[in-house]
C-alpha cells in the first residue's frame, strides 16, 4: 500500500481522535501565549562574541546603560513668562520624585560654580534663589543661562532658537525592563499631556528609552491589525474564487488555529516579540491559504469527476499530500536558512517561521478532509468556478504563448535580465536605528525636531583608556580629547559632545569670575591653581560620574548622531579614526567607538553578508530537494531559472526606485524564493505524471500540466500577492518594503513559472524528457494509479 494511501486511511478513520489531539495541542499552545514577551531593547544583529559587541559590553561595565536619557523640550517663546517658566521647572521636580528616575537636569536645577578666594575652592550655588515673579526676573535668568553658561549650551538650551529642554535620567536597572514601559505610559505621557493642556504649550519628547517604548507599543498595535487584515483579505479573495461559504469557513478555521499555534510557539520558546517576529502570525495566514486552495480545489475536481465523497477525500490526501508537503518543506527551508546565521534575531525568526509553516501544512492536511467528511457533497454552484470562462481564457492564453511565442518569452527574459543587472548596480546599502520607524507617528516627528535643535538623539560613545589610574585628568590627555572634540564639532551629522572637558572648561570660567570667554581648557600654569580649587570643592558629581569611571582611567565622550545610513556612518567613523590615530598614540591610549546606534549600523553590514550566505544556502537546499524529488540535474537547473529570475528583477527594481539593501529588504529574497518554488514543484510534479500517462509525449504533457495546475497556481499567487500586500499598510518602513517587494517578486514568479518554465521544458524536450535523464523520483510526488 502506498504511504500516502495509508496516511489517508489513518486520517479519515481516526478523525475523532485527530480532532481531539488538535484541540488539546491548540489549548496547550494557547496557554503558552502568556509567556510571550515584548522586546525592550533594539535588536542586536551581531553575535555575542563579535568584537563590536565585546567593546560595547565593556563600555556598559564601565558606565552602565547609555540609553537612559528621556528628553523633553519646548520651542515656545511664552515659556519665558513667570507662570509657564515656573510650571516648567515644577514639571522637572515632579519627575524627579518618581522612583524610576535617577535624577533630572533642568533650568531650575542648574547650579553654577563660584570662586571662593578666601577658602580657595569653588562653591556651588543655584542660578536663582527667588522664584521669578515678573517677566524681567525670567529674562534675567534667561540671559544668565544663554549668555554666561556655555557649559549647558546644546545640553539644556539652543541659544539660536530659544528651545529649552529637561533631561530625565532613568535608573539604569529599569531601562530594559517592563518598568520602563509602565513609567512612560502611566506616568510620563499623562503628566506631559496634562501640562500641555494646562499651559497651552507643545512639548516634544524623545530619548532612546522613550523611542523604544513607543516603537514597541506600535509593534503590539500592528499585530492585531495585520492578523485581522490578512484573515479578511485572504478570505475575501478565497471566497471570490470558490464562491463557497463552507470552503471559506474551513480555510479560516485552519489558519486561525495556525495563528494560535504561532503565538503559542513564540511563548513556548520564550522568544521576544520583535518587528520580525510580529510578521509570523499574518505570514502563516498568507502561506496557509494556498495549502487550502490546492486541497479544496482537488476535492472539488474529484467530486465533479465521480461524485464519490470517500474516494475524493482519499485522493485529496494521496494526490496532493506529498506535493503539498514538499512545497511547504521548501518554503520552510527558505526561512530555516536564517537559523544558520549568527544573529539571534534571525535565528529566532527562522526557527518559529519554519516550525509554523510545517504546522500549518499538517493542520490543513488533517482538518480540511476531516471537516468535509462530516459535510454533504458540494452543490453544483460551488463547482462552477472550475469552469469559469475567464479562468479558461487565461489558461488558453498561457498555452498559446508557450505554444507559439517562446522566442518572444526568451527575448523578454533576456531584456529583463540585462535591465535588472544594471539596476542591481544602483542598489545602495543602508541601515539606521530609526530609519524604518513609523514616520507618521508623533514620536518620530519629535526625533526630527531634536535632530534639528540639538544634533540628534542616538548616542555615539568614544571611550578613552589612558592605561593609568587618574590618567584622564592629566592636561595632556585633556588637550588630546579637546582636539578630537573639535573634529566632532566639524561633522554636521553629530551634535556637540559632552565629556569631562565641559566641566574642566567650566572650572576655568568660574576661576575667572564666571566670564564666558574663559570657557576653555586651562594652561599648564592655570591647571595647578584651578586644580587646587577643585580639590577643595564638593560639587554635585552626578554629571562627572557619568563621564569618568571610578578609577579615573577611562574617559567617555558622548555625542549624538542624526538619522544616518551605514554609508555616511562609515565616512564619519573613518574621519574620527584618522583623528584618533593622529592624536592618541597607541602605546599610551586605547580609544574605541561604541554605542547602541553604532552597534546597530555595524550589525546591518554583518547581517547583509550573512543573508547573502543564507539566500545561497536556501537555493542549494531547495536544489537538493529538487534532486531528491526528480533525480535529474537538468531538471534542477530548469526549475531554478524561473525562480531566480524574479529575485533578479526585484533587485533591479530596488536599484531603480532607490530602495536600499537593509535588514528588512534583504529578507525578501529568501522568503520569496522559498515560496515561489512551490509553484515549480506543483507544475513539475504534474508534468512528470503526464509524461508517464502520455507515453513521454512532451508537448501534450506540458499543455496538460499547464491546464490542470495553472488555475491553482494562479489562485495561490493572487492570494499570496494580496496577502503580502497587507504588510504595506504598516507604519514601519521595513515591514512596508518587505510586503511590497515580496508581493512583486511572487507576481513575477507566477508569470515566470507559468510561461518561462513550460517554454524551457518544450525547447529542451530532447535533452530532458526521456526515461534515462528523467528518472523515477525518490518519492512519488503525485500518485499515478487510480485507487481501486
pLDDT of 779 > 50? The answer is: no
| 755 secondary structure, DSSP code | I
**Cα–Cα dist 454/451, whole Å:** 6
Query: At a CB cut-off of 8 Å and minimum separation 6, what does 637 contact?
Result: none
CATH superfamily for domain 3-42+213-425+600-768? Multidrug efflux transporter AcrB transmembrane domain (1.20.1640.10)
> What whole-number percentage of the chain has pLDDT above 70?
92
Please give the full DSSP string across 474-538, using - where no structure is assigned.
SHHHHHHHHHHHHHHHH-TTBPPPBSHHHHHHHHHHHHTTT-GGG-S---HHHHHHHHHHHHT--
pLDDT at 123: 81
**Cα–Cα dist 675/622, whole Å:** 11
pLDDT of 689 > 80? The answer is: no
pLDDT at 543: 52
Say how many C-beta atoms besides its own lie within 10 A of residue 525's C-beta. Answer: 8
Domain edges within the chain: 3-42+213-425+600-768
CA distances from 541 to 111, 309, 327, 555 (A): 12, 82, 64, 15
Q: Are 724 and 294 in contact (CB under 8 A)?
A: no
pLDDT of 707 > 90? The answer is: no
Span 230-248, pLDDT tens digits? 888 888 888 887 778 888 8
Instruction: State the chain's mean pLDDT as an integer.
Output: 84
Span 531-546, pLDDT tens digits? 777 766 654 444 566 7
pLDDT at 263: 92
**Cα–Cα dist 460/599, whole Å:** 10
- Give the pairing type, strands 101-105 and 163-170: antiparallel
What long-range pairs does 700-703 form, CB within 8 A, spacing at least 24? 701/769, 702/402, 702/758, 702/761, 702/762, 703/399, 703/402, 703/403
pTM of the model: 0.77
Query: At a CB cut-off of 8 Å and minimum separation 6, what does 610 contact?
Result: 341, 342, 343, 346
Phi-psi group of 631: left, alpha or beta (phi > 0 → left; psi -120 to 50 → alpha; rest → beta):
left
Band (pLDDT 50/70/90 cuts) for residue 481 is very high
Span 320-362, pLDDT tens digits? 777 788 788 888 887 888 887 777 788 888 899 999 999 999 9
CA distances from 458 to 179, 273, 454, 708, 717 (A): 22, 23, 11, 56, 42
Out of 32-36, 379-383, 385-389, 776-780, least confident range: 776-780
Query: At a CB cut-off of 8 Å and minimum separation 6, what does 279 contact?
Result: 226, 727, 735, 738
The alpha helices in 186-308, defined as continuous H runs, are 189-199, 208-242, 245-268, 280-306
Q: Identify the CA nearest to 256 among candidates 236, 228, 277.
A: 228
3-state secondary structure of 69: strand
User: Residue 532 burial (CB < 10 Å; 0-12/13-18/19+)?
Assistant: exposed
Give residue 95's Cα distance to chain centre.
33
Q: Which residues on adjacent β-strands are paired with residue 458?
A: 561
Q: Are 287 and 724 in contact (CB under 8 A)?
A: no
Q: Phi first, then psi: what are they for 70, rounded to 5°?
A: -110, 130
**Cα–Cα dist 86/138, whole Å:** 9
What long-range pairs does 194-203 form, CB within 8 A, spacing at least 24? 195/87, 195/91, 198/87, 199/83, 199/84, 199/87, 200/78, 201/74, 201/76, 201/78, 201/79, 201/84, 202/74, 202/75, 202/76, 203/72, 203/73, 203/74
**Cα–Cα dist 230/243, whole Å:** 19
Amino acid at each position: 500500500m502506498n504511504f500516502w494511501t495509508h496516511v489517508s486511511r489513518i486520517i479519515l478513520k481516526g478523525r475523532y481522535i485527530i480532532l481531539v489531539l488538535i484541540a488539546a495541542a491548540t489549548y496547550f499552545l494557547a496557554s503558552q501565549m502568556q509567556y510571550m514577551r515584548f522586546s525592550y531593547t533594539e535588536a542586536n544583529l551581531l553575535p555575542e562574541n563579535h568584537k563590536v559587541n565585546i567593546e560595547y559590553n565593556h563600555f556598559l561595565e564601565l558606565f552602565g546603560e547609555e540609553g537612559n536619557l528621556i528628553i523633553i523640550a519646548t520651542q515656545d517663546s511664552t515659556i519665558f513668562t513667570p507662570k509657564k517658566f515656573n510650571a516648567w521647572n515644577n514639571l522637572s521636580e515632579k519627575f524627579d520624585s518618581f522612583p524610576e528616575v535617577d535624577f533630572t537636569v533642568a533650568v531650575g536645577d542648574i547650579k553654577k560654580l563660584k570662586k571662593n578666594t578666601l577658602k580657595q575652592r569653588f562653591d556651588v550655588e543655584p542660578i536663582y534663589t527667588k522664584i521669578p515673579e515678573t517677566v524681567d526676573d525670567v529674562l534675567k535668568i534667561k540671559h544668565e543661562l544663554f549668555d554666561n553658561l556655555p557649559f549647558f549650551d546644546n545640553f539644556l538650551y539652543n541659544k539660536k532658537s530659544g528651545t529649552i529642554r529637561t533631561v530625565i535620567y532613568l535608573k539604569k536597572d529599569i531601562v530594559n525592563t517592563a518598568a520602563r514601559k509602565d513609567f512612560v505610559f502611566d506616568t510620563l505621557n499623562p503628566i506631559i499631556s496634562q501640562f500641555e493642556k494646562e499651559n497651552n504649550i507643545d512639548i516634544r519628547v524623545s530619548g532612546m528609552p522613550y523611542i523604544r517604548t513607543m516603537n514597541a507599543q506600535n509593534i503590539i498595535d500592528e499585530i492585531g491589525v495585520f492578523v485581522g487584515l490578512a484573515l479578511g483579505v485572504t478570505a475575501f479573495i478565497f471566497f471570490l474564487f470558490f464562491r463557497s461559504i463552507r470552503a471559506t469557513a474551513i480555510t479560516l478555521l485552519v489558519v486561525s488555529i495556525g495563528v494560535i499555534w504561532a503565538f503559542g510557539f513564540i511563548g513556548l520558546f520564550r522568544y521576544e516579540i520583535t518587528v520580525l517576529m510580529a510578521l509570523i502570525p499574518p505570514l502563516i495566514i498568507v502561506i496557509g491559504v494556498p495549502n487550502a486552495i490546492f486541497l479544496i480545489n482537488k476535492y472539488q475536481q474529484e467530486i465533479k469527476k465521480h461524485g464519490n465523497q470517500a474516494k475524493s477525500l482519499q485522493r485529496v490526501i494521496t494526490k496532493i499530500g506529498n506535493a503539498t508537503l514538499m512545497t511547504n518543506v521548501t518554503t520552510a527551508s527558505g526561512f530555516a536558512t536564517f537559523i544558520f546565521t549568527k544573529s539571534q534575531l534571525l535565528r529566532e525568526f527562522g526557527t518559529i517561521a519554519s516550525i509554523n509553516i510545517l504546522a500549518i501544512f499538517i493542520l490543513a492536511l488533517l482538518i480540511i478532509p476531516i471537516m468535509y467528511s462530516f459535510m454533504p457533497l458540494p452543490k453544483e454552484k460551488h463547482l462552477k468556478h472550475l469552469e469559469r470562462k475567464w479562468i479558461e481564457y487565461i489558461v488558453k492564453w498561457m498555452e498559446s504563448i508557450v505554444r507559439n511565442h517562446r522566442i518572444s518569452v526568451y527575448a523578454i527574459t533576456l531584456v529583463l535580465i540585462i535591465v535588472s543587472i544594471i539596476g542591481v548596480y544602483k542598489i545602495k546599502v543602508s541601515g539606521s536605528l530609526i530609519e524604518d520607524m513609523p514616520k507618521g507617528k508623533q514620536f518620530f516627528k519629535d526625533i526630527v525636531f531634536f535632530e534639528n535643535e540639538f544634533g540628534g538623539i542616538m548616542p555615539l560613545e568614544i571611550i578613552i583608556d589612558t592605561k593609568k589610574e587618574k590618567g584622564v585628568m592629566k592636561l595632556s590627555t585633556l588637550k588630546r580629547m579637546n582636539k578630537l572634540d573639535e573634529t566632532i564639532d566639524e561633522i554636521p551629522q553629530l551634535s556637540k559632545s559632552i565629556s569631562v572637558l565641559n566641566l574642566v572648561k567650566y572650572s576655568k570660567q568660574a576661576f575667572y569670575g564666571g566670564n564666558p570667554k574663559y570657557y576653555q581648557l586651562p594652561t599648564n600654569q592655570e591647571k595647578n591653581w584651578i586644580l587646587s580649587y577643585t580639590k577643595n570643592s564638593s560639587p554635585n558629581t552626578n554629571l562627572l560620574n557619568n563621564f569618568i569611571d571610578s578609577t579615573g582611567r577611562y574617559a567617555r565622550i558622548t555625542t549624538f548622531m542624526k538619522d544616518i545610513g551605514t554609508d555616511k556612518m562609515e565616512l564619519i567613523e573613518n574621519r574620527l579614526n584618522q583623528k584618533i590615530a593622529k592624536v592618541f598614540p597607541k602605546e599610551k591610549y586605547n580609544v574605541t567607538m561604541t554605542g547602541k546606534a553604532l552597534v546597530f549600523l555595524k550589525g546591518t553590514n554583518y547581517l547583509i553578508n550573512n543573508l547573502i550566505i543564507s539566500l545561497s544556502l536556501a537555493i542549494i537546499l531547495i536544489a537538493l530537494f529538487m534532486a531528491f524529488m526528480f533525480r535529474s540535474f537538468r531538471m534542477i537547473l530548469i526549475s531554478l531559472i524561473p525562480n531566480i529570475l524574479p529575485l533578479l528583477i526585484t533587485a533591479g527594481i530596488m536599484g531603480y526606485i532607490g530602495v536600499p539593501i537593509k535588514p528588512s529588504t534583504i529578507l525578501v529574497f529568501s522568503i520569496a524564493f522559498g515560496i515561489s518554488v512551490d509553484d515549480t514543484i506543483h507544475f513539475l510534479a504534474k508534468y512528470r505524471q503526464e509524461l508517464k500517462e502520455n507515453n513521454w509525449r512532451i508537448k501534450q504533457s506540458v499543455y496538460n500540466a499547464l491546464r490542470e495546475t495553472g488555475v491553482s497556481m494562479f489562485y495561490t499567487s493572487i492570494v499570496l500577492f494580496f496577502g503580502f500586500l497587507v504588510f504595506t499598510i504598516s507604519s514601519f518602513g521595513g515591514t512596508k518594503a518587505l510586503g511590497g517587494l515580496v508581493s512583486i517578486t511572487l507576481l513575477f514568479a507566477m508569470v515566470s513559472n507559468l510561461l518561462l518554465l513550460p517554454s524551457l521544458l518544450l525547447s529542451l524536450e530532447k535533452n530532458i524528457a526521456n526515461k534515462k535523464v528523467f528518472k523515477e523520483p525518490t518519492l512519488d510526488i503525485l500518485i499515478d494509479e487510480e485507487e481501486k
